[in-house]
């Protein structure tokens, strides 16, 4: 693991009050880029640690490279210590319901008065307006924001298969934090940054909104859309396998026909251009499907790759642990889960000076860094012991219950 001193955000301190995915995603991005991110948790730890089923991966994915301070901020001494910590911070990050931080004594106005250079990042369901009082989840905004409509078949809205708004909302929170830090270098002042699930979702479907603005016709859900390209489909091939194949230019069409010996299709004037092929899909696609069905997916993929044509296997998420490209390029880093098991985890999808931002520390145990952080604030061993005895802070190495291994 790497100490991160050469990373771009080395020296930036982030205090994080977050749970689930959106806020932790923001902190993860900042942490991966080198910031010291201190996750403030209740004495029992972030409840996200105990999620099972589809939530079992949330905590280990989005809380690496962070420190854990387990403290009861509802006690005056706990709040006082957190305020001392915030006074040393560059960024404060939260994703609780509107008014939640202010009720704890950690709202923007108070923290900005305490630390005028602080960048305060709030992640919410909605930006300020008529909807801001609503409780939002990723699935809620996918339904009301048009994404579920676009993903499922007509009449069957379907959420996307990942926490797309939570993760992307956290990314926009991080982008806002970086912008505010850059502006602070000029003004000397911090500011409040807000990111929201609903507005994030609107950006995801904005291309379909603009499609309507340009064409005057509503965008069709993806399963029944009129594609922009003649071939852009999943094919059922020999052995019951599936493969995605695409032909997005006239040159690629010629390459496809040459690679598979489709001279008749290459010379057919009805298929000479992409727009003609789109118009001919009703009869062209059944013919292509019939011809491709005699080949195995691996053979088709090899021919497509040899000819520079777009293709993809249909892969399940857990298959990616063995992806040869990720393994060869260091895209998966070794990590130890909170329950002690070892696995690998995807890194940020960027390189800096040719290198991926590294995994510097595993997801922390509950309160793992409490004692060291309090010592950095000037507390001695006797004071720390008293806080622990009075239930203000948690033990430093609380055992983590096993996750869902089903």
Same domain, 69 and 167: yes
Q: Which residues contact 340 (CB under 8 A, 6 or more apart)?
A: none
Q: Tell me what pLDDT residue 401 has.
A: 41
Q: Is residue 176 part of a domain?
A: yes
The one-character DSSP state at 295 is S
Q: Return the residue matching tokens 């807000």.
A: 194
> Is the separation of the CB atoms in 190 and 45 below 8 Å?
no
Q: What are phi and psi of 122, to 5 degrees?
A: -110, 130
Query: Residue 178 domain-assigned?
Result: yes
20 lies in the same domain as 154? yes
Cβ proximity of 311 and 245 under 8 Å: yes
Tell me, yes or no, whether 88 and 190 share the same domain.
yes
Q: What is the CATH number of the domain that holds 63?
A: 3.40.50.10540
User: CA–CA separation, 324 vs 209, rounded Å?
Assistant: 38
The alpha carbon of residue 225 and the mean position of all alpha carbons in its chain are separated, in whole angstroms, by 27
Query: Is position 399 within any domain?
Result: no
Count of structural domains, the chain: 2
Q: Are residues 150 and 297 in the same domain?
A: no
Q: Give the Cα separation of 354 and 360 in Å (integer).
A: 17
Q: In terms of domains, do 330 and 303 share one?
A: no
Write down which residue in 270, 300, 316 finishes a domain. Answer: 316
233 in the same domain as 196:
no
Last residue of a domain, one of 290, 316, 342: 316
- Within 10 angstroms of residue 376's Cβ, the number of other Cβ atoms is 12
State the virtual CA torsion across 232, 236, 239, 241 in degrees, nearest 10.
60
For the record, the structure tokens of 164 come out as: 């797309």
Tokens of 361: 């520390």
In sequence order, the 6+-apart residues with CB closer than 8 A to the CB of 246 are 229, 231, 232, 233, 309, 310, 311
Q: Clarify whether residues 146 and 278 are in a common domain.
A: no
Residue 291 lies in a domain: yes
CATH number of the domain that 281 lies in?
3.30.1540.10
CA torsion, ordered 204, 278, 234, 57, to nearest 10 deg:
0
- Say if residue 345 is in the same domain as residue 311: no
Query: Does 6 reside within a domain?
Result: no
Q: How far apart are CA 102 and CA 109, in angstroms?
A: 8
User: What residues contact 117, with CB distance under 8 A and at least 6 apart?
Assistant: 90, 184, 188, 189, 190
Same domain, 176 and 59: yes
* Structure tokens, 15: 């205090």
406 lies in some domain: no
Give the domain-ending residue among 301, 316, 331: 316
So which residues are the catalytic ones? 166
My answer on whether 339 and 311 are in the same domain is: no
Does residue 212 belong to any structural domain of this protein? no
Domain interval for residue 266: 227-316
Are 59 and 167 found together in one domain? Answer: yes
DSSP run (H or E) holding 285 = helix 281-292
Give the Cα separation of 397 and 6 in Å (integer). 29
pLDDT for 404 equals: 38
Contact between residue 338 and residue 403 where contact means Cβ atoms under 8 Å apart: yes
Instruction: Say yes or no: 107 and 133 in one domain.
Output: yes
DSSP state letters, 354-369: TBPPPP-SPPPPTTTT
Give 294-301's long-range contacts (Cβ < 8 A, gap of 24+). Answer: 294/238, 295/237, 295/238, 296/237, 296/238, 296/239, 296/241, 297/237, 297/238, 297/239, 297/241, 297/242, 297/243, 300/235, 300/237, 300/243, 300/245, 301/243
Alpha carbon distance 20, 94 (integer Å): 11
Per the structure block, which two tokens stand in for 74?
């509802």
Residue 282 in domain: yes
Whether residue 366 contacts residue 44, with contact meaning beta carbons closer than 8 Å, is answered with: yes
Per-residue pLDDT of the chain (406 residues; tens, 9 = 90+): 566 679 999 999 999 999 999 999 999 999 999 999 999 999 999 999 999 999 999 999 999 999 999 999 999 999 999 999 999 999 999 999 999 999 999 999 999 999 999 999 999 999 999 999 999 999 999 999 999 999 999 999 999 999 999 999 999 999 999 999 999 999 999 999 999 999 999 999 999 999 999 999 999 999 888 788 999 999 999 999 999 999 999 999 999 999 999 999 999 999 999 999 999 999 999 999 999 999 999 999 999 999 999 999 999 999 999 999 999 999 999 999 988 999 999 999 999 999 999 999 999 999 999 999 999 999 999 999 999 999 999 976 644 443 433 3
């Amino acid at each position: 693991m790497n100490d991160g001193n050469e990373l771009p955000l080395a020296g930036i301190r982030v205090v994080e009050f977050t749970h689930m995915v959106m806020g932790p995603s923001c902190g993860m991005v900042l942490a991966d880029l080198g910031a010291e991110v201190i996750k403030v948790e209740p004495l029992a730890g972030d409840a996200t640690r105990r999620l099972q089923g589809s939530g079992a991966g949330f905590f280990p994915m989005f809380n690496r490279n962070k420190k854990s301070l387990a403290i009861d901020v509802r006690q005056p001494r706990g709040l006082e210590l957190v305020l001392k910590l915030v006074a040393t911070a560059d960024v404060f990050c939260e994703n609780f319901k509107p008014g939640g931080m202010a009720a704890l004594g950690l709202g923007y106005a108070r923290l900005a008065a305490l630390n005028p250079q602080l960048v305060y990042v709030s992640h919410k369901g909605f930006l300020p307006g008529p909807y801001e009082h609503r409780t939002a989840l990723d699935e809620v905004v996918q339904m009301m924001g048009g994404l579920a409509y676009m993903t499922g078949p007509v009449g069957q809205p379907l959420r996307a298969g990942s926490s797309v708004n939570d993760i992307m909302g956290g990314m926009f929170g991080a982008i806002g934090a970086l912008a505010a830090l850059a502006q602070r270098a000029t003004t000397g002042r911090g500011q409040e940054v807000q990111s929201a699930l609903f507005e994030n979702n609107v950006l995801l479907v904005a291309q379909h909104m603009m499609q309507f603005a340009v064409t005057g016709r509503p965008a069709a859900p993806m399963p029944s859309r009129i594609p922009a390209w003649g071939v852009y489909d999943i094919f059922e091939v020999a052995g019951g396998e599936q493969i995605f194949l695409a032909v997005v230019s006239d040159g690629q069409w010629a390459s496809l026909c040459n690679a598979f010996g489709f001279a008749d299709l290459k010379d057919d004037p009805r298929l000479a251009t992409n727009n003609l092929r789109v118009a001919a899909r009703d009869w062209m696609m059944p013919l292509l499907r019939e011809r491709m069905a005699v080949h195995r997916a691996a053979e088709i993929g090899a021919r497509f790759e040899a000819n520079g044509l777009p293709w993809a296997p249909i892969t399940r998420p857990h298959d990616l642990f063995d992806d040869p490209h990720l393994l060869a390029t260091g895209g998966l880093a070794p990590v130890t889960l909170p329950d002690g098991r070892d696995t690998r985890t995807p890194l940020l999808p960027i390189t800096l000076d040719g290198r991926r931002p590294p995994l510097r520390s595993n997801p922390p145990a509950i309160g793992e860094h409490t004692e060291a952080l309090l010592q950095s604030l000037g507390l001695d061993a006797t004071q720390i012991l008293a806080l622990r005895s009075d239930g203000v802070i948690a033990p430093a190495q609380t055992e983590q219950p096993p996750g869902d291994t089903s």
